[in-house]
Structures are given as C-alpha cells and as structure tokens.
C-alpha cells in the first residue's frame, strides 16, 4: 500500500549510547500507521489504525504548512528533530521537511503530537556496557 505520510522523529539532545534514538512513522492510504521506535535496536515495530478524526487533522495541518510554508527553519541546540514527506493520492510528493527542529511551527508540531499519541507503551531497554561498546564500534565502522 502506498504511503501518504512518512515522518521521522530523532533525538538531537545530549544522550548516552543506549538512549532513545529515533521513531519512524508511515501512514498508508488506508490509514494504517507503521511505527518503529529505536534505541540501540528497534524496541517497537507495530502497526495501528489511525482514527478518521486524526487523519483529517493531519490533512488539515499539511494543507496549512503547504499553503503557508515557514520563512525559516527554527534554530535550537538540542531536543527533537523531525522530517516529513507527504504524498497526494497519485504518489506525488507534495511536502518535504528535511530533518530539523519544528519548534513554533504549529502545523508540524500538531502532526508530531498526533503521531506520538499512537506509540504504544513500551519498556525502555537496559543495555550492558559490552552491548553499548559493541554498538559504538559498529556505528563508528559504518560512519567512518
């Protein structure tokens, strides 16, 4: 099924190796939302149905941000960053927001809150020092 919205929320705050990294969201044409929450590894990988009211709110907020795009990207030193890609019914990209802060951008903040509300409760993983060291070594190799 074709995606109508893809979003990523990343932790740009001061973190330790085992902290929350990012959450990925993808809504398809039927209103199914696929959610993945990552720490060192995915801890949530699930799909849920988005309510008609929330789909309507997301569409309204997307229309608002497309019609009135921001003049600049909010600047911040840490916190959460978001990226968004929205598609029309034919699969054509109608909106793209590169990974950055969304503070003060009400339509994007509203979409983020709606998406976050569908994340199921989960237990934060605890990692051993060895697991964290292995992750850091793997990450360093991938990005060196």
Q: Tell me the pLDDT tens digit for each residue of 12-41.
A: 887 777 789 999 999 999 999 999 999 988
Contacts for 119 with CB less than 8 Å, ≥ 6 apart = 23, 35, 37, 44
* Residues β-bridged to residue 82: 9, 100
Nearest Cα to Cα of residue 102 among 116, 122, 92, 120: 116
- pLDDT above 70 covers a percentage of the chain that reads 99
* pLDDT band of 43, cuts 50, 70, 90: very high
Tell me how long the chain is: 144
Mean pLDDT across 48-52: 98
User: Does domain 3-142 bear CATH number 2.60.40?
Assistant: no
Angle at the Cα of 111 from the Cα atoms of 57 and 119, rounded to 5 degrees: 110
Instruction: Report if pTM > 0.75.
Output: yes
Question: Contact, 2 vs 87, CB < 8 A?
Answer: yes
Q: Which of 99, 47, 20 is nearest to 108 (CA)?
A: 99
Q: Is residue 111 exposed (0-12), middle (13-18) or buried (19+ Cβ within 10 Å)?
A: buried
CA 118 to chain centroid = 12
């Amino acid at each position: 099924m074709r995606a109508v919205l893809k979003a990523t929320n990343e932790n740009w705050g001061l973190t330790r190796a085992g902290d929350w990294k990012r959450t990925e969201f993808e809504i398809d044409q039927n209103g199914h939302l696929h959610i993945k929450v990552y720490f060192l590894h995915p801890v949530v990988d699930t799909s849920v149905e988005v309510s008609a009211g929330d789909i309507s709110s997301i569409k309204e907020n997307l229309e608002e941000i497309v019609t009135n795009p921001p003049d600049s990207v909010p600047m911040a030193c840490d916190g959460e960053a978001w990226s968004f890609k929205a598609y029309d019914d034919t699969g054509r990209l109608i909106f793209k927001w590169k990974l950055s802060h969304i503070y003060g951008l009400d339509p994007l903040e509203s979409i983020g809150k709606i998406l976050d509300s569908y994340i199921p409760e989960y237990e934060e993983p605890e990692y051993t020092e060895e697991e964290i060291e292995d992750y850091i070594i793997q990450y360093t190799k991938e990005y060196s």
